[in-house]
A and B are shown apart, each in its own frame.
Chain A
Amino acid sequence: MTASTIELRVTPADRRIARYAAAAIALGVAEAALPSPLPGVKPGLANIVVLIVLWRHGWRDAAWVALLRVFAGSLLLGQFLAPGFFLALAGALASLAALAGVARLPRRWFGPVTASVLAAFAHIAGQLLLARLWLVPHDGVFYLAPVFGLSALVFGIVNGLIAARLLKEST
């Protein structure tokens, strides 16, 4: 048997992203064990990691971590390419779009809580849109929007505060 000649060059940035993504995946999997009152109402603890990465290393790294989390997390839970996976992906893409906007806000005035709340709202908006277009082609899905909006607000604030706290402790 010949030795493999394929060599992947790993940069420190890759290792950093992998480490953060591992933390996010662990939080996501742990969270899947929590009972939820309504499908879609989840704390989204993994997003704390995404926020921290956004603050420390910028949007590009945050996008890597968020998307790696969606793919690897769904593989671990056996959800890959199931409807839940596409909903998670739609949510992640929408919240990354929101975070791209948030990253341009002055940090003196807007902290991680703003990023977290806006990303949470974008997340449910993306999910509801996909659900409306694909899974439940009826405006009835929007009747649940206030419930999702409220949970996005609450968990957005809580996750943002936790991220802000962790960022403060590490500096």
Chain B
Amino acid sequence: MTDWLRLLRPGDWATMLLGAAAVAVSFPLLWAGGRAERAVIRLDGRIVAEFPLAAPRRFAVQGPLGETVIEIAPGRARVLADPGPRQYCVQQGWLTRPNAIAICAPNHVSLSLSGRDPSHDSLNY
């Protein structure tokens, strides 16, 4: 082991430390994939409300079947309750990534998150 260590020159240590630091810094930055900043609520494709993902709040939308309740919390949002029969959008849980979307089709309501850079939404996957 000490044999191998003797192959390293002072500058090599500096290079390795810098490289390790660069990798460590890049991890959270790039894994985050951008942050979701706003929740956009649509009824029949038209935006009915838009909130920053900052303060917790609830918002109810009146659709053809009844009331869909959206819950917003810092950094995330979800469909809390929906009158639809299969509850897909409710079971999706918290949305955290930009361009994630929960669609309550029976009630014509959708909840999507937007970040700084509008690109692919979660339906693309």
**Could you list which residues of chain A lie within 8 angstroms of chain B, going by C-beta atoms?**
105-106, 108-114, 117-118, 121, 138-140, 142-146, 149-150, 152-153, 156-157, 160-161, 164-165, 168
Q: Which residues of B contact A108 (CB under 8 A)?
A: 9
Instruction: Give the residue of B12, B33, B119 whose beta carbon is less than 8 angstroms from that of A114.
Output: B12
Which residues B19-41 have CB closer than 8 A to chain A? 19-20, 22-23, 26-27, 29-31, 33
A117 touches B30 (CB 8 A): no
Is B55 interfacial (CB 8 A cutoff)?
A: no
Instruction: Give the residue of A113, A146, A150 whose beta carbon is less than 8 angstroms from that of B15.
Output: A113
Q: A139-B117, A145-B26, A146-B27 are in contact. List 19 more A-B contacts (CB 8 A).
A: A106-B11, A110-B12, A111-B7, A111-B8, A111-B11, A112-B7, A113-B7, A113-B15, A114-B9, A114-B12, A117-B12, A143-B30, A145-B30, A146-B30, A146-B31, A150-B23, A153-B16, A161-B4, A168-B7
Instruction: Give the residue of A111, A143, A145, A156 whose beta carbon is less than 8 angstroms from that of B19.
Output: A156
Question: What is the interface of chain A mostly: helix, strand, loop, or mixed?
Answer: helix
B10 touches A149 (CB 8 A): no
Q: How many angstroms between the C-alpha atoms of A150 and B8 in the bound complex?
A: 20
A153 touches B12 (CB 8 A): no
B19 touches A153 (CB 8 A): yes
A109 touches B10 (CB 8 A): yes
Known A-B contacts A113-B7, A138-B119, A153-B23; the reply to A160 vs B12 at CB < 8 A is yes
Q: Which residues of B contact A142 (CB under 8 A)?
A: 30
Q: Which residues of A contact B12 (CB under 8 A)?
A: 110-111, 113-114, 117, 160
Question: What range describes how many residues of B lie at the interface?
Answer: 20 to 34
Q: Which residues of B contact A109 (CB under 8 A)?
A: 9-11
Q: Which residues of A contact B4 (CB under 8 A)?
A: 161, 165
Q: Which residues of B contact A114 (CB under 8 A)?
A: 9, 11-12, 15
Q: How many angstroms between the C-alpha atoms of A157 and B7 in the bound complex?
A: 11
Q: Which residues of A contact B33 (CB under 8 A)?
A: 140, 143
Q: How many angstroms between the C-alpha atoms of A108 and B9 in the bound complex?
A: 7
A164 touches B7 (CB 8 A): yes
Nearest opposing residue in chain A for B32, CB measure: A143
Q: How many angstroms between the C-alpha atoms of A110 and B18 in the bound complex?
A: 14
A sample of 26 inter-chain contacts (CB < 8 A) reads A105-B11, A109-B9, A110-B12, A110-B15, A111-B8, A111-B11, A117-B12, A117-B19, A118-B15, A121-B19, A139-B119, A140-B33, A140-B120, A145-B30, A146-B23, A146-B26, A146-B31, A149-B22, A149-B23, A150-B23, A153-B20, A153-B23, A160-B12, A161-B4, A161-B8, A164-B8
